[in-house]
Structure 1
Amino acid sequence: MPDQQKYIKKLAGDRVLVIGGSAGIGYGVAEACVEEGCFVIITGSSPRSSQAALTKLQSSYPSATARLSAFAADLADEDNLEGNISTLFESVSKLLTDGVLDHVVYTAGDALSVLPLSDVTLAKAKQAGMVRFFAPLLVAKHALPFLTRSAKGSLTLTTGGVASKPSANWTVVGSYATALLGLTRQLALDMRPVRVNAVAPGAVDTGLWKGLTAEQKEEMEKKTATGRVGVVEDVAQTYLGILKDRNTTGSVVETNSGYLLM
């Protein structure tokens, strides 16, 4: 008689869209979902980036090729933002037998607009929030008709440690990160019974990390309680936990190596 499997197969067969899944944390979440037995759809900012990530996933998981797909979605284009998001969900729904997704994970980001207050302009401030705030808001709007309408369905957003621990010259980005905390809780009511949560990572060793000098890396590690920054494989587990826990909604989960304590 085989052992029971109450926990490790909980996501098997679920349909997951990872917006921003072509790189960094999003790619790690996509990998984790593939290993959990999910049907995984990723997006990148361009056809080239999304296709490259899809090819990489297929190479890593050759037996799961039939469960993998990719689309491009430009989330930085203000004039076409809502249209691009609407088109994305329409395209994704056509892939699915019943047109329904179980989970949407939003990890998309762009270059951080870190600048002194004296350099802030309305145009810069608005553009800084296009991918990091306005896009997730519109993703929520357009995702709802396509999500499983029960506690199984979920939308998971991504904010950051700066929402809880301000840093100099991060006024614009930090304000959007903080706004995502409120957006998460509001959406948990407006989208119920679909669950809405957010993950707030600290520094994570992604492609951006590789561009830092040894001294910069050491300085960042000193600001953590564990003496190390996170790796994608660790942080992806936080997203998996949220997808699995149907009792969690309106919550923001921190994963930051104790950065907030230092």
Structure 2
Amino acid sequence: MAFAKPGKYASKLIDKKVLVLGGTSGLGFAVAEAAWEFGAKVTISGSRQPKVDHKLSEMKSNNPAGDVSKLQGFACDLGNKETLEGNLKSLFDQATDSGTTKLDHIVFSAGDAPPMKPLAEVDVAYLHAAGLVRLAAPFIIGKLCAAHGYLKSSASSSITFTSGMSESKPGAGQSSMLAAFGGIEVFTRGLAVDLAPVRVNCVAPGGVDTELSQAFGGESLLNHFRERSTTKTVGKPEDVAEAYLYSMRDQFVTGTVIESNGGGLLV
């Protein structure tokens, strides 16, 4: 029995090479699942290889019909400033066979949960630590793409970073953390110019029920987001993953912050 060939919209990610950093949990895992479901060749990365392997098995279990030859994963620790660049270069070498098979898309959703500090107690060391994963790592990714050509130089290629709703609507006591986190949106626009024609965008999610949101504040935080949205809901990773898919598939969007927040900025 012959199967219908996917149409021009459904086929946009077929056999595209997609690297998802932070792909073992939350938004990154959902993006990886979705891209693989649409036929992409997906590489996921997380800080520990056992978790990477577990999540690869989970993806295969969730989609038994998926092509397992299009799925792989490698550990990459982003939490040490001394090894950050070397670890990222090693990951890119693994994902591209040392640059011989270039990537089409990079998604960065990795994050950590640094402790909130009152502004009066913040020092330079705190700012450096808070921005290591969320700002320094994306910067090094941009550097590696510029220096080593791991990403195809085309408008069909993209990098998508992740910020958040608090950058646009900060809460009390968040200024020290946002000083480190908020730079990613400005960096996105600058990198879109420097890496052109490659497209660079950033997804800014609102309150999403992920492992990271549970670490930050759990149900009380999610209820806060729920009450302050127009949808009276919190996001699900599989819904917000659509924003990342859009960033990959729309070859005319670049230098843009894509918001998915349930109306949280409206009220």
| TM-score, normalised relative to structure 2 | 0.92
Q: Kindly indicate whether residue 223 of structure 2 is the aligned counterpart of residue 247 of structure 1.
A: no
Contact 2:203 2:260 in 1 (8 A): yes
Equivalent position of 2:153 in the other structure: 149
Written as runs of structure 1 = structure 2, the 5 A alignment for 1:191-206 is: 191-206=195-210
- Letter of the 1:246 partner, please give it: Q
Per-residue CA deviation, residues 176-226 of structure 1 (Å, 9 max, x unaligned), is 332111100000010011100000001101124456565554333111111
Equivalent position of 2:13 in the other structure: 11
Written as runs of structure 1 = structure 2, the 5 A alignment for 1:63-78 is: 63-78=66-81
Contact 1:76 1:130 in 2 (8 A): yes
Shift of 1:243: 0.3
Q: Kindly indicate whether residue 175 of structure 2 is the aligned counterpart of residue 171 of structure 1.
A: yes
Give the direction of change, closer, same or farther, for the CA distance of 1:213–1:68 in structure 2 (3 Å limit): closer
- Letter of the 2:225 partner, please give it: M
Long gaps (5+) in structure 2: none
Equivalent position of 1:162 in the other structure: 166
Per-residue CA deviation, residues 126-175 of structure 1 (Å, 9 max, x unaligned), is 10000000001101111341111110111100011111111112113212
Q: Distance in 1 between matches of 2:57 and 2:241?
A: 20
Give the direction of change, closer, same or farther, for the CA distance of 1:185–1:85 in structure 2 (3 Å limit): same
Count of paired positions: 261
Equivalent position of 1:81 in the other structure: 84
User: Residue 23 of structure 2 is aligned with which of 9, 21, 25?
Assistant: 21
Give the direction of change, closer, same or farther, for the CA distance of 1:82–1:208 in structure 2 (3 Å limit): closer
Give the direction of change, closer, same or farther, for the CA distance of 1:147–1:120 in structure 2 (3 Å limit): same
Give the direction of change, closer, same or farther, for the CA distance of 1:213–1:165 in structure 2 (3 Å limit): closer
Look up the SS of the partner of 1:204 in the other structure.
coil
- Letter of the 1:30 partner, please give it: A
The share of aligned pairs that are identical, in percent, is 39
- Letter of the 1:193 partner, please give it: P
Look up the SS of the partner of 1:138 in the other structure.
helix
Written as runs of structure 1 = structure 2, the 5 A alignment for 1:47-62 is: 47-62=49-64
Look up the SS of the partner of 1:230 in the other structure.
coil
Per-residue CA deviation, residues 45-95 of structure 1 (Å, 9 max, x unaligned), is 111221221121122233321110001111110111111111111111118
- Letter of the 2:196 partner, please give it: R
User: Residue 40 of structure 1 is aligned with which of 39, 42, 45?
Assistant: 42
Deviates more, 1:146-155 or 1:44-53: 44-53
Contact 1:21 1:107 in 2 (8 A): yes
Give the direction of change, closer, same or farther, for the CA distance of 1:124–1:251 in structure 2 (3 Å limit): same
Equivalent position of 1:183 in the other structure: 187
| TM-score, normalised relative to structure 1 | 0.93
RMSD: 1.9
Give the direction of change, closer, same or farther, for the CA distance of 1:260–1:237 in structure 2 (3 Å limit): same
Q: Distance in 2 between matches of 1:252 and 1:9?
A: 25
Equivalent position of 2:261 in the other structure: 256
Q: Distance in 1 between matches of 2:15 and 2:74?
A: 20
Give the direction of change, closer, same or farther, for the CA distance of 1:94–1:170 in structure 2 (3 Å limit): same
Contact 1:162 1:177 in 2 (8 A): no
Contact 1:44 1:50 in 2 (8 A): yes
Q: Distance in 2 between matches of 1:29 and 1:109?
A: 15
Equivalent position of 1:126 in the other structure: 128
